[in-house]
Amino acid sequence: MTLERAKPRIVVTFGTRPEAIKMFPVVFALRETGLFEVKVVVTAQHRELLDSVLALAGITPDVDLDLMQPDQTLDGLASRILTSFGAALDDLKPDRVLVHGDTLTTMMASLACYFRRVPVGHVEAGLRSGDIYSPWPEEVNRKVTGVITDLHFAPTETAAAALRAENVDAAAIHITGNTVIDALLFAQQRLSANPSLAPAIAPLRERFAGKRILAVTAHRRENFGAGMAEIAKGLQQLASRDDVAIIYPLHPNPNVGGVMRPALEGLDNIALIDPLDYLDFVAMMAASDIVLTDSGGIQEEAPSLGKPVLVMRDTTERPEGVAAGTARLVGADASLIVAETVRLLDEPAAYARMATAHNPYGDGKASSKIAELVGKAH
């Protein structure tokens, strides 16, 4: 710690909506201790999706790098994060940086820290699919980050074991649970106090009253092209059932809308809607019967709400959900998506097994554990 500072300066950085959801409870917890000077630096690699979470949490970034560009390439974005975040480090001179998960922000911010010998704490450390191209580029983003990190906050024992298998010092690995549960509990409290905070979902609940609601998200890069076409085909088939309705917030990427809109628009029981803010998103999951997703974090959130999750990917870095029975892999395969969804719709026992399975991702106290561990390190 630098001599002129009364408290260690901790920079918390993130760039996308999922990271913001999982990091705002960490910002809260660090500030609550009173032990640190906390600075928030956002890269805004996803601008519009990020801002709604910052507003919900009441967090104004200390530094907003505002790096998102239309049609950005991975290498172009990576280079902008490395140099811009590096400049922010030179200005702020933090004692530690906390990164989250597996985005380009995570990896490039960690590299910028490494070049300056600034220690890195990795929230949601140790997730591994075992395939560097699925999810792509996230698997390599998190592996590179893990090499640089000296405080690994693993959400589960499975994640901790993956780090130990990579010869990470066991003393540097801490099992905390997943901060997404902390965020979900915060959101549920806000919604129960004021349901009008989820204005996008109330009219859809009314419109689809009496139907089994499928909440859908699909936007993974590895599903672009043939995978998206298969998912669209599966959703078309499911929508042919009179008892089913589908709510699908479309990701702004044209690789998603360009496939989904022609296939699904105009069907009475499918609502293709704009991306939702976090509270509306939680309300959508709560209103649904089944969640179909190729997203990572939703595999953790939905089980907390008692919703079966069908994962439209071939691999998952969250095997705990599959092992616990809260999630099932169906791939981007129309016939499997339809078969497994129909099984859950038509077999109450199969549905109940998934809906009541124990959520392996924690108790909602991960952030306070992380803050305590950072305190011990400084």
Question: pLDDT tens across 337-348, in order?
Answer: 999 999 999 999
* pLDDT recorded at residue 49: 80
Contacts of 155 (CB under 8 A, 6+ apart): 124, 126, 127, 175, 176, 177, 178, 179, 300, 361, 362, 366
Give yes or no: residues 103 and 138 share one domain.
Answer: yes
- Between residues 18 and 237, the one the model is more confident about: 237
Query: Which of the following is catalytic: 46, 80, 251, 313?
Result: 251
Question: pLDDT tens across 50-100, in order?
Answer: 898 999 999 999 999 999 898 899 999 999 999 999 999 999 999 999 999
Give yes or no: residues 21 and 128 share one domain.
Answer: yes
48 noted as active-site residue:
no
Query: Which of the following is catalytic: 221, 261, 353, 378?
Result: 221
71 noted as active-site residue:
no
Query: Which of the following is catalytic: 95, 102, 182, 340?
Result: 102
Give yes or no: residues 330 and 372 share one domain.
Answer: no
Q: Tell me which of 238-242, 286-290, 317-321 is least confident.
A: 317-321
Mean pLDDT of all residues in the chain? 95
pTM: 0.87
Check if the beta carbon of residue 12 is closer than 8 Å to that of residue 23.
yes
Give yes or no: residues 368 and 348 share one domain.
Answer: no
Question: pLDDT tens across 134-166, in order?
Answer: 999 999 999 999 999 999 999 999 999 999 999
Categorize the per-residue pLDDT at 110 as very low, low, confident or very high, splitting at 50, 70 and 90.
very high
> Does 192 map to a domain?
no
Categorize the per-residue pLDDT at 2 as very low, low, confident or very high, splitting at 50, 70 and 90.
very low
- CATH value at residue 205: 3.40.50.2000
Q: Hey, what long-range contacts does 202-211 have (CB within 8 A, 24 or more apart)?
A: 202/283, 204/247, 204/271, 204/273, 204/284, 204/287, 205/287, 207/245, 207/271, 208/245, 208/247, 208/269, 208/271, 211/243, 211/244, 211/245, 211/269
* pLDDT recorded at residue 70: 87
* pLDDT recorded at residue 19: 95
Query: Which of the following is catalytic: 100, 219, 313, 318?
Result: 219
> Does 194 map to a domain?
no
Domain that holds residue 19: 9-178+363-377
